Amino acid sequence: MSASLAFVFPGQGSQSLGMLAELGAQHPVVLETFKEASQALGYDLWALTQQGPEEQLNQTDKTQPAILTASIALWRLWLEQGGACPAYVAGHSLGEYSALVAAGSLSLGDAVRLVERRGQLMQEAVPAGQGGMAAILGLEDADVLAACAEAAQGEVVSAVNFNSPGQVVIAGAKAAVERAIEGCKARGAKRAMPLPVSVPSHCELMRPAAERFAESIAAINWKAPQIPVVQNVSADVPADLETLKRDLLEQLYKPVRWVESVQALAARGATNLVECGPGKVLAGLNKRCAEGVSTSNLNTPDAFAAARAALA
């Protein structure tokens, strides 16, 4: 185990058609991982990620298992290649489930079925077109919170992802999000732009989804994590399994405290952060969240080799 090493797992938005194609061609463990997930889901997940259709891959209930499986394929490849075991793991939103699989708390089969269900419930909680999300860039957190409070007018809108200093995502009812965008612009935001998503994640509109999801969480045979997991809701390592499961449920309707999560990792000495998933969204954010943090990602053969060399 490397005390300075933490693995962080990405959330939705990291998927792309053809992801991990080169690594899949070179390393059987990648295809084996997708085969295991496909058996649990009842359809060919690798074929969907490689051939599409893209609209289907971008449906929440397909996207979530796809990103999780890709992340775990890279995790297994890392260990197979002799990569050091991290001292901590964390995941952004959906990525928290990948982190829990890596930590041995949850099997891959259980995890992909769980996040498929999570995606379905999120989609059902708010009918398409009624919710929205927006990215707010270049504005203090306090100003974003004030803009949301002013824009609510009896509807839901709140800051839901604290991704890096000066990058906050808001979510809620469509009209309230539109009002909050204008409020953020008026307060001096560099950019305030709607995101192309069908579900307003991590806001109060998702509480009914969490209530229905509790049954799925309770049905799983959970194990205590073998690697400490820093969770989104608390930006801390949970004290026990009950806390872990409660925070996982609350994560559906509470903010992702990513800045504080990265700071918590750095405060514990884990400053080498490896993004374990398709894409490199987190690598860009992590550097801005805490001093002295270095980042690597594993999404291509070259990136994987560079990370192995840097952390050998």
Q: Which of the residues are catalytic? A: 93, 202
Quick one: average pLDDT of 211-230?
A: 97
Whole-number mean pLDDT of the chain?
Answer: 96
Q: What is the mean pLDDT of residues 176-183?
A: 98
226-250 tens-digit pLDDT: 999 999 999 999 999 999 999 999 9
Total number of residues shown for the chain: 312
For residue 190, which amino acid is it? K
pLDDT at 221: 92
246-265 pLDDT per residue, tens: 999 999 999 999 999 999 99
Give the tens place of pLDDT for each residue, 301-311.
Answer: 999 999 999 99
**Span 87-114, average pLDDT:** 98
Across-strand partners of 9?
91
Print burial letters for 221-248: b (CB count within 10 Å at least 16), e (below 16): ebeebebbbbbbbbbbbbeeeeebbbbb
Q: Say whether pLDDT at 196 is over 90.
A: no
- Whether residue 198 is predicted with pLDDT greater than 80 in this model: the reply is no
Reported pTM: 0.96
> Residue 180: what pLDDT?
98
Helix orientation angle between 60-80 and 301-310, rounded to the nearest 10 degrees: 50
Query: Do residues 290 and 266 lie in contact, with contact meaning Cβ atoms separated by under 8 Å?
Result: yes
Q: How many CB atoms lie within 10 A of CB 190?
A: 11
> Kind of pairing, strands 86-91 and 167-173?
unpaired
Give residue 19's pLDDT band: very low, low, confident or very high (50, 70, 90).
very high
Q: Place 113 in a pLDDT band, splitting at 50, 70 and 90.
A: very high
Tokens coding 144: 């974003």
Tell me how crowded residue 43 is: count the other CB atoms within 10 A of its CB.
11
pLDDT bracket for residue 99 (50, 70, 90): very high
